[in-house]
């Protein structure tokens, strides 16, 4: 990242972390969005790609006594105030600094990768790179769970010849469906981009390797 990009990212991250304070989704929300049970995660290695500022997901997993190893990845953990806040609320967490489009993990490291409320925050180009990276670090037979995302992204992905070719060439199955709306999520106004998302339905995308 250039110095200017880093400054923009820092400002954006700090704004977002203030905005998301106390609204971060945890284990139950993640499971509900994707129709999973706790048993689906037990004994698994999981990546939370785009972790929130308090790493609520791995905190809940620990409290639920699940035998699940979680890496919480966020580029925002590079900033001292965000990393300190994250580790204060979840001291034993495996907080990893990194970008989703350049994941610092070996191929086939995880059984499942969760990308929750992240894809709406990156450009289309970054999103496709991030998805192919998420698939690279997923074990054969594993899944990448993405969502909720606004349905225009689904429409773009369905039209994207390069992404379709990538899925065909790699034998990856993509399934999409609406996200349950009763999981306590508020409709968003993105203060940074100034976009209102109220009129767009949410969807989820599951990629199976």
Site residues for ligand SAM, window 3-22 (CB under 6 A)? 16, 20
**Would you state the structure tokens that stand for residue 23, as one six-digit string?**
């609204």
Q: With contacts defined by CB under 6 A, how many residues of the chain interact with ligand SAM? A: 20
DSSP H or E segment with residue 47: strand 45-49
- According to the binding rule CB under 6 A, does residue 204 interact with ligand SAM? no
**Would you state the structure tokens that stand for residue 74, as one six-digit string?**
């966020």
Site residues for ligand SAM, window 25-44 (CB under 6 A)? 25
Q: What angle do CA 85, 87, 89 make, to 5 degrees?
A: 70
- According to the binding rule CB under 6 A, does residue 147 interact with ligand SAM? no
C-alpha span between 46 and 151 (Å, rounded): 26
DSSP per-residue letters across 84-115:
HHHHHH-TT-EEEE-BTTB--S-TT-EEEEEE
Q: Which is nearer to ligand SAM, 60 or 111 (CB)?
A: 60
Site residues for ligand SAM, window 120-139 (CB under 6 A)? 121-122, 126
Site residues for ligand SAM, window 161-200 (CB under 6 A)? none
Q: Which residues bind ligand SAM (CB under 6 A)?
A: 16, 20, 24-25, 49-52, 74-76, 99-101, 116-118, 121-122, 126
């Amino acid at each position: 990242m250039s110095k200017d990009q880093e400054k923009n990212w820092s400002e954006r991250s700090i704004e977002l972390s203030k905005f998301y304070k106390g609204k971060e989704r945890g284990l139950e929300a993640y499971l509900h969005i994707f129709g999973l049970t706790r048993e689906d995660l037990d004994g698994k290695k999981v990546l939370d790609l785009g972790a929130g500022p308090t790493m609520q997901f791995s905190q809940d997993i620990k409290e639920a006594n699940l035998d699940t190893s979680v890496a919480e990845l966020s580029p925002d953990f590079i900033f001292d105030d965000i990393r300190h806040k994250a580790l204060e609320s979840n001291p034993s967490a495996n907080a990893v600094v990194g970008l989703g489009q350049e994941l610092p993990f070996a191929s086939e490291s995880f059984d499942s990768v969760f990308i929750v409320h992240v894809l709406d925050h990156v450009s289309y180009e970054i999103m496709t790179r991030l998805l192919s990276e998420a698939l690279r670090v997923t074990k054969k037979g594993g899944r990448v769970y993405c969502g909720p995302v606004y349905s225009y992204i689904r429409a773009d992905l369905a039209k994207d010849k390069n992404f379709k070719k990538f899925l065909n060439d790699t034998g990856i199955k993509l399934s999409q469906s609406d996200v349950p709306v009763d999981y306590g999520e508020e409709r968003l106004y993105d203060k940074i981009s100034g976009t209102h998302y109220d009129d767009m339905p949410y969807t989820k995308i599951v990629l199976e390797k």
